[in-house]
Structure 1
Amino acid sequence: MPRTTLEPVATYRVQLTPDFTFAEVTGILGHLCDLGVSHLYLSPILEAMPGSQHGYDWSPPARIAQALGGLDGFRFLREHARALGIGMILDLVPNHVGVASVAHNPWWEHVLTFGFDSPYATYFDLYPADTDTIYLPYLGRAEDLADLRLDERDWLVLGDIAVPTAPGTVAPGDDPLEVHQRQHYRLVAHDGTQIGYRRFLTVNGLAALRQEIPAVYDATHGWLQELVADDLLDGVRIDHLDGLRDPVGYLTRLRADLGADRLIYVEKTLAIAEELDPSLPVDGTTGYETLQLIEARFTAPTGAIELEETFRTISGGREGDGDRLWERARELRESVLVSSFPDRLQRITDLLSARDHQVPPHILRQAVSLLVSSSPVARPGYPATTEAVLNRIDNLAAENLVAAPGCEVLATAIADPDYAPEAVARLGEATVAVYGQAIEGIGYNRTARLVSSQELGCSPLIPAINQPDFDERCSWRAAHWPRGLNALSTHDTKRAEDVRARIAVIAQTPQRWRIFVDELWRMAPPPHSWVCYYLLQNLVGVWPDQALPDEQMRARFSAFASKTLREGQVVSSWSDPNPRAEADVLRWLDTIQTGIPGLAVSSFVSLIADAGREESLSRKVISLTLPGVGDIYQGTQWWDDSLTDPDNRRPVDYTRSLDHPKVQAVRAALAVRRRHLDSFGPGSDYASLTVRGPAAAHLIAFSRGHRGVAAVVVVGVRLALMFNSPVTRGKAYVELPPGIWVETTAGEEFTGSISADALLADKPYALLELKS
């Protein structure tokens, strides 16, 4: 039976849990069909570690989780979705596997039992350094080993940690500490640097897999190949592509398995000026670059400059932008490389030293550290990144003469794929891991000029973008990645799209914000000024429209604040918690959510809330109609006040009213897309429309079409705070393309130059179709 290919219109991401299984997803298919969604996009569906609420810690052998409904439940969901014309995209996790519970991972158990003699040892990216010992960072402190005991299976047990012992290493009455010394592994402190397996970032419960080995690929993808054979999926999303040793090789084999017509999306962060390598056999990324593009276009550039002064005052002189912030980012990446990933740094150095015996290892190490700390691309090693990386290495050599010989070796390795391929692969992995930990994990919690620009794919250094650059990037995307995803929220974003939209409005009223902050600081002096300033912006983003935060909201925000304080590593950290400092900040947060301080926050929120809602609707429509495929994260068809995970993975109430402005916006945008598939898919056109008048800066306007003929016009409001009256809206005019244009909701017809007041009425967006 020939396969029917579904052209993607929009995807809808669902987070599966033991309480929201395939059966529950089947129950919402009618709603997704009503929205206009073309593809259901599922979180990982394989068996995972006990109690997992996300599935990224899956456990071998690879099989569909019974807790989610098993293969039969998945087939049932697939059949119902296909009957409604909805395709299926699955989230694949090739980079790592869960190892937190050894008993639930037979591969890992075998490796710990038999060490490097286990046939599964080659499955994992083990790095024993000078010994054949695998270091397990399971301990709070080294002294915890005093509580080690043996259970009835002769496993070593410490609290909720249980690890197997090798045959013949335990006799009745043995001291557990002595037994521990006989094993192929050693339990070490969780923040130790001698790690015998390459972790995902610094998550100790995940171990990296070597997908470049055919046997590992076969063992981890057999289930997928079976689904493909039965035509049970239409595409995949690849988690953390840059964590693989050989991303290009992996994608080449995966494309061969899936065939030419199934979708492949890769989770990959790109630097601001970086493009996805066109040689990759994929349909695009999961959309962080579009998130950044939209976020930047909706941020007032002059307001961001004024907010820089506020942040400097609040923080005692710390810069929120400019060269010094870039330098701090470099310093932070270098510090994290040395403190959290020294094993990776040493591994790259060893590999280069083995290739070039003339340059001293410490010089090579310095060159590697410099490049990892200032890479111009997300991950060196892709063919398209070569020129940018070589230019950066040349600059580093000129700036650091001592490291110049090491830079020369690095340049040779980057330029010549056969010179030191393993070193380049490890260099790429290290660069990604260090950036994720240093910038997204720590750095984004340490600066606070405007926290809406501190999001995945974004950069606080470049919070805004002008119209010509915006249009240029959109045109490029239409030509090169017409099926790439356009995300506004994901399960990994730091703040939901509606929260960011409101926070960004602060840049439209920076002086009133400064007055408000000064008043609040007088009423409730913070225990740590700029850490509390960071938290305040987030609190304003989630603050209720018409009331003070209730107990549930306060509990959610306290959990977010506690996580933020430890990840920022300023007043506390995961490895060295400071309960007193954390308590001081949490008490301050309680203070400003009640009484007179709480009323002051409510007053400021009331000033910006409506503009935030309007811009959120505008952003949503634009994300669904720009070049690419709209991606809707679960629940974001309604207002969403979520913060970072696990807050953004809370259950979604699908019984909410469908008579909601955001639901209506999604329906309208996707209905237009479905009626004009040629104007949005491969070969479609994007063209910026001329907007004139004193208030022109408040509009984003473009057309979508095919073969030079515009069929759809999209207009969205930006900088909405000062664009809310008919008089002001009458000062912006959109030049429509030739023809008669029909507004999709009211059915009004327009032609030529039309004012925003007439076009939009009281809405923050307009969708128009060419009258046939």
Structure 2
Amino acid sequence: MGTPSSTYRVQFTPSFTFADAAGITDYLARLGVGALYGSPMLDAREGSNHGYDVTDPTLARPELGGDAGRVALQDRLKALDLGLVVDIVPNHMVVPNPWWEDVLAHGQASKYARYFDIDWSSGRVLLPVLAEDAPDEVHEHYLKANWRRGNTELNYRRFFDITELAAVRVEDPEVFEATHRAVLSWGVTGLRIDHPDGLADPGGYFRRLREHFDGWLVVEKILGPDESLPQSWPVDGTTGYDALREICGVFIAPTDAYAGDFHAVEHASRQQVADSILVAEVRRIARLVDGVEFDQACRAVAEVMVNFPVYRSYLPEGLRYWETAVRLSRSPAVRALDEQVRADPHGELATRIQQTSGMVVAKGTEDTAFYRYTNFVALNEVGGSPDRFGLPVSEFHQRAARRESAEPAAMTALSTHDTKRSEDVRARLAVLAEIPDAYLAFETAMSEKHGISEPTLNRLAWQSVVGAWPLTEDRLGQYLEKASREAKIRTSWVDRNAEFDAEVAAWPAKALNEPEVAAFAERIKVPGWSNSLGQKLVQLTAPGVPDVYQGTELWDFSLVDPDNRRPVDYDVRRDLLARIESGWLPEVDDSGAAKLLVVQKALHVRKRGLHGYRPLHAEGPAAGHVLAFERSGVITVATRLPVGLEQKGWQDTVLPLPGTKWTDVLTGRPATEDLASLLDTYPVALLVQGDQ
């Protein structure tokens, strides 16, 4: 099986196993999915609800059904002509694990000492696992110490600031073979590569992987708005955050009502990360800089990483990004750092600063600034740009055409296990860009009654309430606890503020019982549905391979994990799908069945094979409220900016259709150029030539 027509992401957990996934394969086939796309399937820490904490890369996770369950799942998928795409984690493993335990027992003499990225200059591995007031415990090959010492003294590379996720040296051929042998023997359709920016040599890793795997290969590379994948990488594309930014952006009205200085917040957030939670990483890199004082080298290393305009460079590729970071840095030691990196772009200094800059950017921007700069949080998404308000239709067409020509098999996404909020929350919040005065008046009035004392969290809280409405006190409380601690303003995961934490915990009960909240959420619900259907149809039919995140074929108003990893009710979805298959045309209502209709029809059309990209343009007074394009004799039509449209209507706006006879597969009716007629049942249309 080659590139799948589409994918459906499932989150494997102890309560959703390989057997459970096999149980929904018939539903996925009926839905029109091309491949099941699973979260990590290798053995992980007991009880893990995500699988990114791998303990043994040599076998399928027993808690999920082991190799027998995996084989049974693959057999079932094959019988239904569905592929399997597996998420793998080459960058790190959770510790302790058997390999790590051998290292602690035998030190540098361990067979596995080379498997982990450990600085052995002190002779021992530092394990920051003890209580704050506990004395050190010295062992032959390791030292147990106060947990707070991890961020400043840790001597092994890790995943971001998570000390229990130790980095793995897959650049070593022996380590690559040991960590990939099992999954490469499974015969899967595709692989999704987690966090390649943490690797010493991502390009070299992908080239080695391609020697062993010729299937579909997508990578979790977070691109800046005007950044492309390194052209030397032999991959099919990213996992779709770039497409998410573009698709969601075209449904947001340009406005300056929510404007602010995002870059100042972002810079301060990155600086805080470099100066606090990633100090150990900065110091390890600084020791490699020759000819300058250590303190000056630390400052230069931190400044360059903070100033990166994208996540990282891959020298010599991405040289312009490196040059920008150097130019923006003021430390006198930057010159020495720059000269040494350029002199040996594949040396240890260049390698370490590049693989660590992505950590500073991710933790500083995604996990800090996005929780601090909360003027309009629909834009605060992985790979997003909170300072770019709205994407013009013309730019959307340009970017879609480029994807079709350069990376037609790249994944596209609207919701993932890592998004800050689901696609439908984002679609509803997009409405606020059309009614900024009304929303800001609502937020001000409600803040006077029940405001959170920290202003940025207060803004985030009110947007989250109306965006994810209705939601329980428990869900909202868990979300705000995480958001407040990620922001690191009045409280944090490391340094708790009991008084502020109590204020945040008490807030949901107050806010959710205000009738004005329900009334405002109701006001934006219907135009939010229009945006949801529009962006979903566009994603499913535009260039790239679309992924449907578990459960989002109906409305899904989830917030960040773990909220977006709740169990999915497939019985409800099966029942609704059966009605759609029998010819039912659901209303656009709270059931979300209209979205299921759009997903099912679009995925089946997608299986015909869509190629090329031709922008289509409406004519008339409401032409700016439609996004349309044609691919392989299939036309996508989506309403945008629905509040403004409602005020004036379509009037005599038309979408000239190429050719003669077209049918809307959503309604089964012959298509007309008159948009008021074409879109009188749904705010979207999917046209095929002839009679379907």
Q: TM-score range with shorter-chain normalisation?
A: over 0.9
- Which residue pairs with 2:644 in the alignment? 722
User: 1:603-618 counterparts in 2 under 5 A?
Assistant: 603-618=519-534
- Which residue pairs with 1:748 in the alignment? 669
- Which residue pairs with 2:275 in the alignment? 338
User: What displacement does 1:534 show?
Assistant: 1.1
Whole-angstrom distance in 2 between the partners of 1:402 and 1:49? 45
Q: 1:402 to 1:98 in 2, by over 3 A?
A: closer
8 Å CA contact 1:396–1:407 kept in 2: the answer is no
Task: Please give the per-residue CA displacement for 1:674-702, whole angstroms capped at 9, x wherever unaligned.
Answer: 23x1xx2xxx3112111232222211111
Whole-angstrom distance in 1 between the partners of 2:440 and 2:275? 38
8 Å CA contact 1:528–1:585 kept in 2: the answer is no
User: What displacement does 1:401 show?
Assistant: 7.8
Query: Please, which of 269, 281, 285 is the counterpart of residue 222 of structure 2?
Result: 269
- Which residue pairs with 1:328 in the alignment? 265
Whole-angstrom distance in 2 between the partners of 1:738 and 1:421? 59
Whole-angstrom distance in 2 between the partners of 1:535 and 1:73? 42
Q: 1:460 to 1:419 in 2, by over 3 A?
A: closer
- Which residue pairs with 1:697 in the alignment? 624
User: 1:426-575 counterparts in 2 under 5 A?
Assistant: 426-544=352-470, 549=471, 553-575=472-494
Task: Please give the per-residue CA displacement for 1:282-315, whole angstroms capped at 9, x wherever unaligned.
Answer: 111110000111121111112xx1123xxxxxxx
- Which residue pairs with 1:591 in the alignment? 510
Query: Please, which of 193, 197, 211 is the counterpart of residue 170 of structure 2?
Result: 211
Whole-angstrom distance in 2 between the partners of 1:216 and 1:471? 43
- Which residue pairs with 1:124 in the alignment? 116
Whole-angstrom distance in 2 between the partners of 1:745 and 1:464? 28
Query: Please, which of 248, 271, 287 is the counterpart of residue 203 of structure 2?
Result: 248
- Which residue pairs with 1:376 in the alignment? 309
8 Å CA contact 1:452–1:503 kept in 2: the answer is yes
8 Å CA contact 1:366–1:406 kept in 2: the answer is no
Task: Please give the per-residue CA displacement for 1:92-116, whole angstroms capped at 9, x wherever unaligned.
Answer: 11110011xx3xx111111112222
Match for 2:654: what amino acid?
Y
Query: Please, which of 638, 645, 650 is the counterpart of residue 566 of structure 2?
Result: 650
Q: 1:369 to 1:523 in 2, by over 3 A?
A: closer
Q: 1:593 to 1:375 in 2, by over 3 A?
A: same
8 Å CA contact 1:566–1:574 kept in 2: the answer is yes
Q: 1:383 to 1:661 in 2, by over 3 A?
A: farther
- Which residue pairs with 2:130 in the alignment? 139
1:215 partner SS: helix
Match for 1:591: what amino acid?
K
User: What displacement does 1:370 show?
Assistant: 2.5
- Which residue pairs with 1:19 in the alignment? 15
Whole-angstrom distance in 2 between the partners of 1:731 and 1:93? 54
User: What displacement does 1:420 show?
Assistant: 4.9
Name the TM-score, length of structure 2 as normaliser: 0.93
Match for 1:193: what amino acid?
T
1:138 partner SS: strand
- Which residue pairs with 1:425 in the alignment? 351
**Do residues 627 (structure 1) and 543 (structure 2) align?**
yes
8 Å CA contact 2:129–2:144 kept in 1: the answer is no
User: 1:163-182 counterparts in 2 under 5 A?
Assistant: 180=138
User: What displacement does 1:188 show?
Assistant: 2.5
Task: Please give the per-residue CA displacement for 1:63-93, whole angstroms capped at 9, x wherever unaligned.
Answer: 1112211111111111111111100111111
Whole-angstrom distance in 2 between the partners of 1:527 and 1:759? 49
User: What displacement does 1:61 show?
Assistant: 5.4
- Which residue pairs with 2:634 in the alignment? 712
Q: How many aligned residue pairs are there?
A: 673
Match for 2:662: what amino acid?
W
8 Å CA contact 2:117–2:157 kept in 1: the answer is yes
2:494 partner SS: coil
Match for 1:409: what amino acid?
E
Match for 1:49: what amino acid?
R
Query: Please, which of 257, 266, 282 is the counterpart of residue 306 of structure 1?
Result: 257
Match for 1:405: what amino acid?
R
- Which residue pairs with 1:164 in the alignment? none
8 Å CA contact 1:351–1:420 kept in 2: the answer is no
- Which residue pairs with 1:313 in the alignment? none
- Which residue pairs with 1:297 in the alignment? 250
- Which residue pairs with 2:153 in the alignment? 194
8 Å CA contact 2:621–2:650 kept in 1: the answer is no
User: What displacement does 1:7 show?
Assistant: 3.8
Query: Please, which of 302, 306, 320 is the counterpart of residue 387 of structure 1?
Result: 320
8 Å CA contact 1:712–1:767 kept in 2: the answer is yes
Match for 1:504: what amino acid?
A
1:122 partner SS: helix
1:144 partner SS: coil
**Do residues 98 (structure 1) and 17 (structure 2) align?**
no
Query: Please, which of 567, 579, 591 is the counterpart of residue 498 of structure 2?
Result: 579
Name the TM-score, length of structure 1 as normaliser: 0.84
Task: Please give the per-residue CA displacement for 1:208-232, whole angstroms capped at 9, x wherever unaligned.
Answer: 00001111111111112322xxxx3
User: What displacement does 1:30 show?
Assistant: 0.9
User: What displacement does 1:135 show?
Assistant: 1.4
User: What displacement does 1:556 show?
Assistant: 1.1
Whole-angstrom distance in 1 between the partners of 2:328 and 2:57? 46
Q: 1:201 to 1:731 in 2, by over 3 A?
A: farther
Match for 1:375: what amino acid?
F
Q: 1:390 to 1:307 in 2, by over 3 A?
A: closer
Question: Could you list the runs of 5+ residues in structure 1 that have no partner in the other structure?
Answer: 146-176, 309-319, 706-710
Whole-angstrom distance in 1 between the partners of 2:366 and 2:57? 32
Q: 1:392 to 1:568 in 2, by over 3 A?
A: closer
8 Å CA contact 2:309–2:324 kept in 1: the answer is no
1:108 partner SS: helix
- Which residue pairs with 2:653 in the alignment? 732
Whole-angstrom distance in 1 between the partners of 2:192 and 2:345? 32
Whole-angstrom distance in 2 between the partners of 1:77 and 1:380? 39
Query: Please, which of 332, 336, 342 is the counterpart of residue 406 of structure 1?
Result: 336
Query: Please, which of 335, 347, 355 is the counterpart of residue 284 of structure 2?
Result: 347
Task: Please give the per-residue CA displacement for 1:128-159, whole angstroms capped at 9, x wherever unaligned.
Answer: 4x511211122341x134xxxxxxxxxxxxxx
User: What displacement does 1:645 show?
Assistant: 1.0
Matched residues, percent identical? 36
User: What displacement does 1:522 show?
Assistant: 2.8
1:588 partner SS: helix
Whole-angstrom distance in 2 between the partners of 1:23 and 1:181? 44
Whole-angstrom distance in 1 between the partners of 2:238 and 2:202? 13
Match for 1:734: what amino acid?
L
User: What displacement does 1:407 show?
Assistant: 5.7
Across the aligned residues of Structure 1 and Structure 2, the Cα RMSD in angstroms comes to: 2.0
8 Å CA contact 1:333–1:434 kept in 2: the answer is yes
Whole-angstrom distance in 1 between the partners of 2:398 and 2:479? 37
User: What displacement does 1:445 show?
Assistant: 0.7
User: What displacement does 1:186 show?
Assistant: 2.7
Match for 2:544: what amino acid?
G
Q: 1:419 to 1:25 in 2, by over 3 A?
A: closer
